[in-house]
Amino acid sequence: MTRSAYTEALVQSGVLQHLAAFDPHVAGTPPLGLDLPDSDIDILCHAPDSHAFAATVWAAYRDRPGFAMWQWQGSDRPIVARFRCAGWLFELFGQARPVAEQLGWRHFAIEQRLLALGGEPLRAAVMARRHAGAKTEPAFAQILGLLGDPYAALLTLEQLDHETLRTRIGAQTKRAGVSASPLVVRSIEGDQPS
C-alpha cells in the first residue's frame, strides 16, 4: 500500500485524536516505508491508567471490523487492541511507561535512524528480506550481522553515535553484497548519542 493510503487511514480512523490524552505515537513499518500488503499500523500510547485507556478504546472502536482488546497478565504488560479501518489493521498498545521507554518505540527509533544513515541500499536490503518472509527486526539483524535475539541485539545499537553506525552499516552491507552503489547518508535532525 502507498504512503498516502497509510496516512489516509490514520485520518479516517481518527486514532490520533481519540487517543490524544495518551500521547499516541505512530510506529511500525508504514512510517518507515517498509510495509508489505499485510502490514499493520502500530499506535503506541502512554497509559498509566489502564482502565481509562481501555474505556477510551472501547468507546471509539468497539464497532469497527475485527475489533478485539486484551491484556496479558504480568507487570508492565500493555493493553492491546486491534481493528480494521480503510484497508489497514490497526494495533493499539497502551502501556504504563512513557512511549519513549517502550520497546516498540525503541525498535522503531533505531530502525528509523539506521534507515536515515543507510539510505536506499539498506532499505532495499531490508525489504528484500521482508519479502522473503523475515520480520522487520530479524531482517535488520541479518543485514547488520547482529547475533542472538534480533529484538535485543537491535537495541544494542541505540547508544552508538552516527559515525559508528554508518561504518557498521557500510561494512555489513558490503560484506553481505547488498549493493554495489555507494552508501547514501542523509542528515538526521536532533542530538546524536555520545
CB 68 within 8 A of CB 158: no
Query: What is the model's pLDDT at position 184?
Result: 36
Task: Please determine, for residue 8, whether its predicted confidence score (pLDDT) is greater than 70.
Answer: yes
The pLDDT-based confidence of 176 (bands split at 50, 70, 90) is low
26-62 pLDDT tens trace: 999 999 999 999 999 999 999 999 999 999 999 999 9
118-154 pLDDT tens trace: 999 999 999 999 999 999 999 999 999 999 999 999 9
61-100 pLDDT tens trace: 999 999 999 998 766 789 999 999 999 999 999 999 999 9
Give this prediction's pTM. 0.85
Helix and strand numbers (H, E) in the chain are 8, 5
Query: What is the model's pLDDT at position 189?
Result: 43
State the Cα–Cα distance between residues 66 and 47, nearest whole angstrom.
22
Domain residue spans of the chain: 3-99, 104-175
Q: Are strands 88-95 and 40-46 parallel, antiparallel or unpaired?
A: parallel
State the Cα–Cα distance between residues 10 and 29, nearest whole angstrom.
14
C-alpha cell at 84: 480494521
The pLDDT-based confidence of 174 (bands split at 50, 70, 90) is low
Pick the more confident residue, 139 or 186: 139
The pLDDT-based confidence of 2 (bands split at 50, 70, 90) is low
State the Cα–Cα distance between residues 89 and 121, nearest whole angstrom.
28
To the nearest whole number, what is the mean pLDDT of the chain? 88
- The CATH number of the domain covering residues in 3-99: 3.30.460.10
